[in-house]
Structure 1
Amino acid sequence: MSAHTIRPARPEDVPAFRDIYEEAVLNGTATYELVPPDLAEMRARFAAITGVGYPFIVAEDHHDTVLGYAYASAFRHRPAYRWSVEDSIYLAPEARGRGIGRDLLTRLVELCSESGFRQMVAVIGGADNEASIRVHRRAGFRMIGTFEGSGFKFGRWIDTVLMQMQLGDGNTSLPDETVFPGTLYGG
């Protein structure tokens, strides 16, 4: 039996997301934010992502403690990008190195594929973020580039790594235009 389960996120999970994200902001380069957002802002972000139908999931242990979360969001906000999503994964420090990030990413890829998205892009903060690069590579992402010195945090320049994975038919067939009834891009 797995030591954790993956399930859809709920509004009552947002305080745990905020705590996990605060640690990432203050101690890591996975995000280029410098000041952790407050609970109201995290609630607004959660509502914005889930309100237009993007998947947002959590990993929790058998005590219902949130160990990490992952979500997909718009890669870019122009209508031509509507078939591409960007993934985000954040883990509590005690959850790292236990396969939870892999499980979250695997489920997120499944959900995005089922929803009709065709590309997933990982925008990874820090070329030295080996764990994130490794989990994406093992999931089937390929390296597509590095923005050198694109972020400045902790008194140093940080590279941004871009990885990509085709979902479903990728770009080998035309998408089903009826999948998006207009909620994501205004019609």
Structure 2
Amino acid sequence: MLIRPAEPADFTAIADIYRDGVLHGTGTFDEVPPTASALQARWQEITAMNLPYLVAVEGDNIIGFAYASPFRQRVAYRYGVEDSIYVHPDHKGAGVGKALLSALITACTEGGFYAIYAVIGDAANTGSIRLHETLGFEHTGTLPRAGYKFDRWIDVIFMMKTLRPMDGPAEGTGWAI
């Protein structure tokens, strides 16, 4: 498996992976799968802010993707990012998510960010919760019944990993360019 930056040609496969998450999972609160071109437009916005957008490749196949995006849009949040990770259903449990999240953490640390946040849809999403715990994220809170999908209320779990000390003034520009 190879982890590399996403490229424009990857977005048909990325859209297929995300479609599965939208239609069958609660990790995203999207209910209608976006098109490959809509996902590519998001990628352009993310990479224009110098944030990482990665894919996991096995042979010629994209088997997962991950990216960092602004946690919130207000400029005061610019030193922290939110992670998003999706793995092809045929490759779940095979270490793809861990490889992607590890690479994303490295890229965000090298990018000068102070923290990376996980906003996990569904308290029952134990795979994502355990993945984040394994890589040093701490549970920081729960929003009970934050979303409604598949005819049920869904909690949102917040987790955080500190990437560098936060005991002094922030340095660098963060994602705000």
User: Taking structure 1 as the reference length, what is the TM-score of the superposition?
Assistant: 0.91
CA contact (8 A) 1:121 1:165 kept: yes
Question: Structure 1, residues 125-159: CA drift from partner, whole Å, max 9, x if none?
Answer: 00000000000000000000110000100000000
Aligned-pair RMSD on alpha carbons? 1.1
Would the aligned equivalents of 1:18 and 1:39 in 2 still touch at CA under 8 Å?
yes
Match of 2:26 in 1: 29
Residue 90 of structure 1, aligned match among 78, 86, 93: 86
The unaligned stretches of length 5 or more in structure 2 are none
2:169 matched to which residue of 1? 174
Q: CA deviation at 1:23?
A: 0.5
**Which SS does the other structure have where 1:6 is aligned?**
strand
**DSSP-derived class of the 1:175 partner:** coil
Q: Distance in 1 between matches of 2:109 and 2:40?
A: 26
Residue equivalent to 1:114: 110
Q: Which amino acid aligns with 1:138?
A: T
Q: Secondary structure at the match of 2:31?
A: coil
Asked whether the 8 Å contact 1:29–1:125 carries over to 2, the reply is yes
Q: Distance in 2 between the 1:10 and 1:39 partners?
A: 12
1:50 is matched with 47
The answer (yes or no) to whether the contact 1:86–1:122 under 8 Å persists in 2 is: yes
Task: Name the aligned partner's letter for residue 126 of structure 2.
Answer: E
Q: Which amino acid aligns with 1:25?
A: V
Query: 1:9 aligned to 2:6?
Result: yes
Q: Share of identical aligned residues, percent?
A: 44
Deviation at 1:41, TM superposition (A): 1.0
SS in 1 for 2:133: helix
Q: Structure 1 unaligned runs (5+)?
A: none
Match for residue 161 of structure 1? Answer: 157
- Could you say what secondary structure the match of 1:165 adopts? strand
Amino acid at match of 1:80: A
Q: How does 1:67-106 map to 2 (within 5 A)?
A: 67-106=63-102
**Contact (CA 8 Å) 2:22, 2:30: kept in 1 or not?**
yes
